[in-house]
Amino acid sequence: MSIGLQAIKAPFDQIVGQPTASRFLTASVQTNYRPQAYLFYGPSGSGRSEAAYLLARSLLCSEGGDDDCQDCLRVLRHSHPDLQELSPEGASGYLIGQIHDLSHSAALSPMLANRKVYIIQQADKMSVSFANAFLKLLEEPPPNVVFILICRNLAALLPTVRSRCQLVPFTAIPTEQAIALLVAEQSVPDSLARLALAYSAGSLSAARSFIQSSSLQQQRRTLMSLLRGLSSYDSMDVLEAARQLVICCKLPLDDLRIAQQRQLEENRETLSKAALNDLEQGHKRELTALERASARWLIEGLRSWVRDILLVYCGLPEQVVNYDEIEAIQTGFLPKQPDMLARLMFCLEASNEAEAHLDYNVSVQSIYEYLLFTLREQLTGRP
């Protein structure tokens, strides 16, 4: 190892619970191995996005990404003009217009760094026509462009796309390890760390956001208070509760709007008018995507509550996630019905179904109405 290599710190050590990915990325930076495209694959919540941003930081920072220079800070705040993150804009996947925008943007020179980085989330949601157009981009890549694809299901990606990427595997972080980490890092009690993970479908980064965001916690409190009242609701109340949940979906948008405003301010001097316009268009899409994700979180929260009723019913209250709701569950939702277990399983199934409907652009209000009416009927025996 040369002196120069020793001087490089190991920014990828920050990737939690992924020794293979961390070792590989450290070695690839140290040896200057720079594939044109990486494919980070593995389950949601395994830290693929955080690793992608760390890699982007090392690619865009003139110091190798291990310090706190302006470039690094911009990457970590997601506001570097040479870094773009793409997510599917259609309800069921990437839109063909998105690949045209990507090809156009990739052909332009970088603004601050000497290369551009694109993080492509949910790469397994590329349609065949999108993937074929993307393949052309990989076959004749514009100079100084690096793609970091992120996906869960490797098999859903075109083999020809897959074979042009450097594969980097991620595995699920064990829940107890993730909880211990959140407790140490965020100085929160074990119970809140467990709750945050449950609300984030096991994703460490989403759990961090949950702990730090008052609006996400407010969203959960509203959801819990609506669910608590469910057993006494008449039909009008259920409709009103569904309406409240739709309003609740918009709560986290305010945080994002503030971050977007800051990004615009930071880049106002360096970006052209057209680039600023693109940025603003991207912001609008981000807001839509967040609203959709937020609708999903609420269903996740609702599911965790049903699971908790199941745990209390089965005599396992110590495993409950919504620890502050145990009393309300015990007093309000455990009628002595012989088929309670089947009813609870039906509710879990209904929440899975409701989540699937979100992918088909069904109105969020009607999905929540369906769910709340189903829950009320199953849990109280009242149609």
Binding site for Zn ion (CB under 5 A): 61, 63, 67, 69, 71-72
CB of 113: closest distance to Zn ion in angstroms?
10
CB of 331: closest distance to Zn ion in angstroms?
55
CB of 69: closest distance to Zn ion in angstroms?
4
CB of 59: closest distance to Zn ion in angstroms?
11
CA distance 116 to 127: 24
* Structural contact between residues 211 and 192, judged by C-beta atoms closer than 8 angstroms: yes
- Our CB check for Zn ion shows the closer of 80 and 220 to be 80
- Our CB check for Zn ion shows the closer of 56 and 197 to be 56
- Our CB check for Zn ion shows the closer of 72 and 207 to be 72
Strands 37-41 and 83-86: unpaired
- Our CB check for Zn ion shows the closer of 67 and 101 to be 67
CB of 58: closest distance to Zn ion in angstroms?
9
- Our CB check for Zn ion shows the closer of 61 and 83 to be 61
* Structural contact between residues 179 and 197, judged by C-beta atoms closer than 8 angstroms: yes
CB of 264: closest distance to Zn ion in angstroms?
22
- Our CB check for Zn ion shows the closer of 69 and 362 to be 69
- Our CB check for Zn ion shows the closer of 30 and 127 to be 30
CB of 72: closest distance to Zn ion in angstroms?
3
Which residue of the chain is nearest Zn ion when measured via CB? Answer: 61
CB of 116: closest distance to Zn ion in angstroms?
16
CA distance 207 to 254: 18
CA distance 2 to 25: 18
CB of 35: closest distance to Zn ion in angstroms?
21
CA distance 299 to 305: 10
- Our CB check for Zn ion shows the closer of 80 and 194 to be 80
- Our CB check for Zn ion shows the closer of 69 and 271 to be 69
CA distance 150 to 170: 10
